[in-house]
Structure 1
Amino acid sequence: MWEQFITILPELNKSFLETLIMVGIGLIVALVVGLPLGLLLFVTDRNLFLENKWVKGIAGVVVNLVRSVPFIILLVFLFPFTNYLLGTTTGPIAASVALSVAAIPFYARIVESSARDIDRGVIEAAIACGASPWLIIKDIIFPEIKSGLISGLTITAISLIGYSAMAGAIGGGGIGDLAIRYGYYRYDNFVMFTTVVLLIVMVQVVQYVGDFVAKSVKKS
């Protein structure tokens, strides 16, 4: 067993790094695009300071459309766009395109849900004092939901780890690709077991770190 582990260790390291690249890119895009989108969905809602039913409606429909498509179908559907963008549809960078597209609406809804827990009276008091929309977002909404944002990012990261394994099945690389090529096609149960354990460990570490940071932020 030890000899088998030493044999696949280089491939395991490579696959682990590829998974980190995919998940990392997806998380960054989710944070950069999904966070503002989630805030937009919240502040344009009814009876809020930037109420706009058209913006809210269109943004909500787009988010729901993307979220309703199973990831494996979304991945294949985006192949032409990925090929146009990067010149290839294989590898971790190419797979991160679909991962990013899936992560944006997922995280946006988490942000919107976190913001809905804020006491509306606090926002109304800020409006009555003449606070600008940006000031309300920066000094009221963000401090109130920062713990929820981190917890949401943790949930998104865990989802992306699962999605990355699916992406590996059709050329995305990463741990999923290793499990398919070595574990499934070669009927190597040891490799399959090792990849499953590695994915479980990754999820547990991400969950622990995310919970720890969220609790630390909430106490501060």
Structure 2
Amino acid sequence: MKILIVEDEKLLADSIKTLLEDKGYEADAVYDGESGVDYAETGVYDLLILDVMMPKLNGYQVAKKLRQIHLSTPILMLTAKSDLMDRVEGLNSGADYYLTKPFDSLELLACVSALLRRQGSEVDELKFGNTSLELGSGSLICNENELRLSAKEFEVMRMLMQSKDKNLSKEAILSKVWGYDSDAVENHVEVYVGFLRKKLKSIGSDVNIVAARRLGYHLELEE
């Protein structure tokens, strides 16, 4: 699971990052709202931890921008403001949960776990056209045909299914599936997309993985 921390107090952001990494999560930290939007828009994160009071864009503005582009990633909002109307504004902006500073590390971890667990339990499969990706088994299913994917094929296909007709960059796929520290290059993405195209065709899927020059890949249905 990959988590983005958007918090202008660098010491706090880095301490949260360390806490999450110690618990086995992958985590990145950025220190202003504009960077938060830029990172979150890549679609590689499973959860956003978002401060309210930040330079450039505050947390409410960040959440609204992300929801406007239909990014459904869960948002845990952090703030020193504890008034009811502040909490209401945060939730109305698109946050899924609101945690008031100061907070205990165990409370933060419990919130993170609950939001990630809720996200996983609400979605058992992803669908596009006549094809579904079963998340539990990692299988592509079309009518009576079913095909188990390898781990990396599954992760690439899941990102494409989540993005649907919205372009997904090769860089985003690389960072999510292979990791920032990997030696993998864009050709790896192209190879796995090739594998997936063949497997979709073999099960009679009407889903096409379309390459958009300099923009990445998106899904389209055969006419």
TM-score by length of 1: 0.28
Q: Report which structure shows greater RCO (CA 8 Å, sep ≥6).
A: 1
The structure carrying a bigger strand percent of its residues is: 2
